[in-house]
Amino acid sequence: MSRLQNYARPWRVLWLIPVAAFAVLSIVATGGSGGGGDDGVVIDDDLPVVILPNYNFFLANLSTEELLTAAVGNLFTVSVDIDGLFPGNLDLNTDANNNVTFVSYRIRQSARVDLTVAGFEPSALDGTFAVIVTEDISAIAGDEPSSGTFEVRTPTETVVVSILANGIQLVLNGGAPVVYNTWEEFSDLIEDDTQESWQRRAALAAGVLEFLTEQFFDVADALDTLELVTLNNPIVEACDLFPGTPPAGLLGQGDLTVTWLGSGELSDGDDFDWSFNQCWSADDAEVIDGTITLENYTETIDFNNNSLFEIGFGGLSGQPGGVIYDITLSETQEDNTVFTILPEDIITLTGGFALIIQVP
């Protein structure tokens, strides 16, 4: 699986689309299971599943209505309520060994999430506001969005956020545009309480989405082990070793356990657990602790050409299951090989979403 670069501090990110899409495609890259297909049709398991170069994907709230929620240090919580289906499109390449490389993605016009922000102390950002994509948002995988438009709406404000070739433009209620030259400059608004709340709210909307994308790509890295889990269950991998003194109370080297909760062959309805035990990533300077569960696996193969037709976790029409989080992400700081974690740099993720990837 191709690796994304870490472009921003963990809690600043957010383009809520590829998320589990990337995780799911890691499973596809294993060659698929015998699941799916039409009843009575025999699929040759010795043939690799054909992965097409383009797929649609859709996110939906969990049937349990446990919204994906991030508690950001000692600052605030953000809950993400998907309005209906959140649509997107994904381009990818597949090599001769069925290894997938993600090329680009688009968040489709009309995609909407409602964000509810609650500060641990009263804040100008508190409240619920809508984030609506009004022009497809496009990005190269691993890079910042290159084009598109979304709006951030409250009962009294509409902020139009335009992604331009030379920066980010904000317009409040049809007024004069405010331009930021870089994503970093735009993202910094979240922390700066001297700035206007509408600008900070726009940055938070973008930041939350970007954050989710980055984290789900990180999950996708672990999902490459799925093809091995069915043969050697569970799989335990050592995480990066702290090259010095780890943060207080943490192991010098944690581990990651991937467990398949099925038996026999990978089948519809199967579940997987990723358990992180104080797992530090040197690339991301981040410790992950807790569990990510993928529930109610589904896969359909087009038996006419042995290609992947549909894959996902949970359902889009109220079926149970999905991608479910109970993890803590802690950004580490290093000073002369001594590592620390600040309270504001700890994020707890709970809840989740259902996801389906389908042929266009």
pLDDT in tens, the chain (360 residues): 322 233 233 222 222 333 333 444 444 444 444 444 443 334 455 567 788 899 888 888 999 999 999 998 888 899 999 999 888 888 888 888 777 787 888 889 998 999 999 988 888 889 999 999 999 999 888 888 899 999 999 999 999 999 998 899 999 999 999 999 998 899 889 878 889 999 999 999 987 767 656 654 554 444 455 667 878 899 899 999 999 999 999 999 999 998 999 888 888 888 999 899 999 999 989 999 999 998 998 888 888 888 888 888 888 888 899 989 999 999 999 999 999 999 989 999 999 988 888 899
User: Looking at the 3D structure of the chain, how many domains does it have?
Assistant: 1
The C-alpha atoms of residue 122 and residue 294 are separated, in whole angstroms, by 35
Tracing tokens 């050409």 back to the chain, one arrives at: 305
In a domain, 98, yes or no: yes
Q: Is residue 1 part of a domain?
A: no
Q: Does residue 250 lie in a domain region?
A: yes
Looking at residue 202, what DSSP letter applies? H
**Has this prediction a pTM greater than 0.95?**
no
In a domain, 5, yes or no: no
262: number of Cβ within 10 Å: 17
End-to-end CA gap in the chain: 22
Using alpha carbons, select from 50, 57, 44, 53 the residue that is nearest to residue 31.
50
100, 92 Cβ separation under 8 angstroms = yes
What is the span of the domain harbouring residue 194? 10-358
| Omega before residue 18 within 30° of 0, cis | no
Helix or strand or coil: residue 318? coil
Residue 202: which of 221, 178, 231, 228 has the closest Cα? 178
Q: How many C-beta atoms lie closer than 10 Å to residue 46's C-beta?
A: 6
Q: How many residues in total does the chain contain?
A: 360
* Cβ atoms of 8 and 202 closer than 8 Å: no
Give the pLDDT of residue 88.
86
In a domain, 3, yes or no: no
Q: What is the pLDDT of residue 267?
A: 85
Say if 53 falls within a structural domain: yes
Please, are residues 70 and 208 in contact by the beta-carbon 8 Å criterion? yes
Q: Are strands 253-260 and 272-281 parallel, antiparallel or unpaired?
A: antiparallel
Show the tokens assigned to 176.
Answer: 């004069």
Question: What's the rounded Cα separation, in Å, for the pair 29 and 128?
Answer: 39
Q: Is residue 345 part of a domain?
A: yes
How much of the chain is helix, strand and coil, in % rounded to 5?
15, 45, 40
CB 337 within 8 A of CB 245: yes
User: Tokens 């979240």 identify what position?
Assistant: 190
Tokens of 79: 């809950």
Residue 82 lies in a domain: yes
Q: What 3-state DSSP class applies to 165?
A: coil
Sign of CA dihedral 177, 180, 186, 188: negative
Name the packing angle between helices 19-28 and 197-223 (round to 10°). Answer: 10
Alpha-carbon span 182 to 172, nearest angstrom: 19
Contact call for residues 130 and 89 (beta carbons, < 8 A): no
Residue whose entry in the numeric block shows the structure tokens 């000692």: 74
Q: pLDDT value at position 192?
A: 84
Return the half-sphere exposure (C-beta side, CA atoms, 13 A cut-off) of residue 216: 29
Q: Which residue has the tokens 């900070």?
A: 200
